[in-house]
Structure 1
């Protein structure tokens, strides 16, 4: 069996990365602690301090950290305090009287008599002249800081490559799966699914594929059921049409209008179900040419609609479905706002198409609900003003199947529908 037949769990590389990171960091700090420089300066020997006061030209390891001046008596720095005990020790090392030594120490009272830790300012009065030695100020970043930071940076760079590779190996199939699931719709082929990845990713891929198949079967079953209902309703409607011919003229016209309305509602319902379940083509469409042809056709049919020219944009999708989308929105604009004006522009790879009308627009609170099936803007359920309540549901389904969105807005006190569709990059 190959490794591909038995993919490892996603927990394996994550666990390996965590263990490796802990090991590398521990080894780095171990090396810095036991092989690197000390985190603070080593204590100075009192003998070295005494020798420097007596002969400042003498070179020693400690003399490189001290400065000698002559003249004024010693003055303590901000963090230094006097210590008579330390003065006595220094005086003994100088073979001088304790009254001739005056010192100030940042860490007075060390645990060893022959060492002084931390900074200090020590003066020795010799032949009436004060000789003062001071430790040099500690730098902001000592060698220990630099070595530690350098070691940590090296460890981070060492781990960055494997960490990035593992993160990409985990996220790439998940990103591909998420993109496919976002554009999936019943009746259309499922997009490209990741072929590799960890065992959990493959299980998720199989689950998404199975879910899509179930949704497709459900949509097909619903369409079949609605088609059967429409067929069964067609027979009694035909009989009713035959019978109304024997009614008086006024009653006959009303009954015929009711029957025609029922047929239109059944046709709209079937169209909505088939739009959700049917497979659409994937063609390159010139957005401007399609809208121009649609507006011209509707204008010739007497629809008060106009088109403002925009930049060239190519979208991918089903031409008939997109024509139906914009036809429904234009019909809504004319029904509720007297006329429609189309315009569009392209930004950041998205075509923003606007359908403006002269109506008052919809309540922003109710705008989203109008895209639900059988929800109408006219609560009276009058088809002369409200339709079947499926037009906007069809519009949203088409927009989402093309990777776009559709919203209803108010602009300058009037109604506006906004459709956003992804466009192809210019070649």
Structure 2
């Protein structure tokens, strides 16, 4: 609960989270080992070496020799300490070290503790240490090799740790990628199937991933079998219903009764309602997905509707490219939206927007619209919103929006209803992810 602010900064993909899980322990281990090593090993070794050199410096300082004598003495040669007299003004006012020199902190602290009379300490580089003293009005400098007070190449262990950590991370990444690849393939197959595409997939990977893959394959096979059975049933029902309706129409056409025209109108209405029921039951499984230019496709649909007497026009389009669509299903969805628009309004406008991530098909009208709290209900099958949409303007069973929504969902998209800014009526958007 207290770490919710971190959520926007965390990776969202499975690969990103796996890499974070892999790198976080490695980086933490490096930091902990580095800190402990510097504090325990470097500091301890540096302290011991500095103490040894400080005793040698004390021996020379207490030998009673002058500066010139100490500079040429055998003791200085044996101890490898250079003694040089300098002007008192050349003595630094304070200790000097480079800001990133960690061991210099320990060296400076130990010399100041063990040599109370030292005036200043300078560690300008990795090669020399300089101690400054002022005695009896004389200033002199003692210098010796830096390696006598600091471990040589202290960075080697850290470099080795870093190099081998990177190597282990790379090896772990390739192994982890092989473990995550079956999950990614399963995700792509499930996403494609949700959009109406059937991509080849074979269960692989760890036992748990393989079990999930086999469960997906079984589920996909059952769904495809049910769709196939429903398609066959609908084909039979459609054929069996059209035959008696056709006989009724032929029989009514030969009647000379005054009300035969009304009976024929009822038969035509019954035929249209049956077609709507069959279209809803058929869903979005008409045809196979194919690459479609949405601009040309929507222009064709609008032209067909206009020739049928609908007051509709294709007003604008943005973006170019092709989208995988079931043409018959999308044609039915857009035609239903246009039919609803011109039924409850005077005219309709169709527009399209295509981006790298989605396709949006918009149908707007100048009718009464649908209240915001009733739009979700309007997309359910057999919904009839008498208050929002005047049912006297046209008959129906409330399947137009439901069919459009079902087709949008079958393409991995959605149907959204709103208020038209341009015409003031209903705005229906079919949004399909690419």
The answer, yes or no, to whether TM exceeds 0.5 is: yes
Counterpart in the other structure of 1:110: none
1:81-230 to 2 correspondence within 5 Å? 90=115, 102=117, 124-129=133-138, 146-184=155-193, 190-219=198-227
* Paired residue total: 362
1:308 aligned counterpart, secondary structure: strand
Whole-Å separation in 2 of the counterparts to 1:409 and 1:364: 7
Check whether the contact 1:48–1:60 (CA below 8 A) recurs between aligned residues.
no
Q: CA deviation at 1:158?
A: 0.8
Whole-Å separation in 2 of the counterparts to 1:60 and 1:49: 12
1:18-417 to 2 correspondence within 5 Å? 38=42, 41=46, 42-44=49-51, 45-50=53-58, 71=88, 90=115, 102=117, 124-129=133-138, 146-184=155-193, 190-219=198-227, 253=262, 264-276=272-284, 278=285, 280-308=287-315, 310=317, 312-348=320-356, 350-359=358-367, 361-378=369-386, 382=391, 384=393, 387-412=396-421, 414=424, 415-417=426-428
For structure 1, which segment, 215-224 or 295-304, has the greater mean C-alpha deviation from structure 2 after superposition? 215-224
Whole-Å separation in 2 of the counterparts to 1:410 and 1:130: 91
Q: Which runs of 5+ in 2 are unaligned?
A: 1-17, 62-66, 97-104, 122-128
Whole-Å separation in 2 of the counterparts to 1:371 and 1:143: 77
Counterpart in the other structure of 1:115: none
| Residues 276-327 of structure 1 deviation map (CA, whole Å, 9 limit, x = unaligned) | 5x45223333322222222112112211111135454323333222211211
| Residues 180-231 of structure 1 deviation map (CA, whole Å, 9 limit, x = unaligned) | 2223269x77422135323322222221121123334445666777889999
Residues 134 and 307 (structure 1), Cα distance of their counterparts in 2 relative to 1, 3 Å cut: farther
| Residues 43-70 of structure 1 deviation map (CA, whole Å, 9 limit, x = unaligned) | 3332333367665795899969x99976
Residues 228 and 145 (structure 1), Cα distance of their counterparts in 2 relative to 1, 3 Å cut: farther
Check whether the contact 1:352–1:419 (CA below 8 A) recurs between aligned residues.
yes
2:163 aligned counterpart, secondary structure: helix
Counterpart in the other structure of 1:116: none
Check whether the contact 2:370–2:388 (CA below 8 A) recurs between aligned residues.
no
| Residues 99-126 of structure 1 deviation map (CA, whole Å, 9 limit, x = unaligned) | xx646999xxxxxxxxxxxxx9987552
Check whether the contact 1:399–1:405 (CA below 8 A) recurs between aligned residues.
yes
1:184 aligned counterpart, secondary structure: helix
Counterpart in the other structure of 1:117: none
1:194 aligned counterpart, secondary structure: coil
Q: CA RMSD in A?
A: 5.5
Check whether the contact 1:299–1:305 (CA below 8 A) recurs between aligned residues.
yes
Check whether the contact 2:365–2:420 (CA below 8 A) recurs between aligned residues.
no
User: Normalising by structure 1, what TM-score?
Assistant: 0.62
Whole-Å separation in 2 of the counterparts to 1:238 and 1:230: 12
Residues 227 and 192 (structure 1), Cα distance of their counterparts in 2 relative to 1, 3 Å cut: closer
Whole-Å separation in 2 of the counterparts to 1:181 and 1:229: 31
Whole-Å separation in 2 of the counterparts to 1:385 and 1:135: 104
Check whether the contact 2:179–2:205 (CA below 8 A) recurs between aligned residues.
yes
1:38 aligned counterpart, secondary structure: helix
Whole-Å separation in 2 of the counterparts to 1:372 and 1:409: 16
User: Normalising by structure 2, what TM-score?
Assistant: 0.62
Q: CA deviation at 1:237?
A: 9.7
| Residues 238-277 of structure 1 deviation map (CA, whole Å, 9 limit, x = unaligned) | 999999xx9x989995x8877765554443222211225x
Whole-Å separation in 2 of the counterparts to 1:366 and 1:129: 99
1:420 matches 2:431: yes
Whole-Å separation in 2 of the counterparts to 1:266 and 1:419: 25
Whole-Å separation in 1 of the counterparts to 2:212 and 2:84: 71
Check whether the contact 1:343–1:353 (CA below 8 A) recurs between aligned residues.
yes
Counterpart in the other structure of 1:111: none
Check whether the contact 1:325–1:395 (CA below 8 A) recurs between aligned residues.
yes
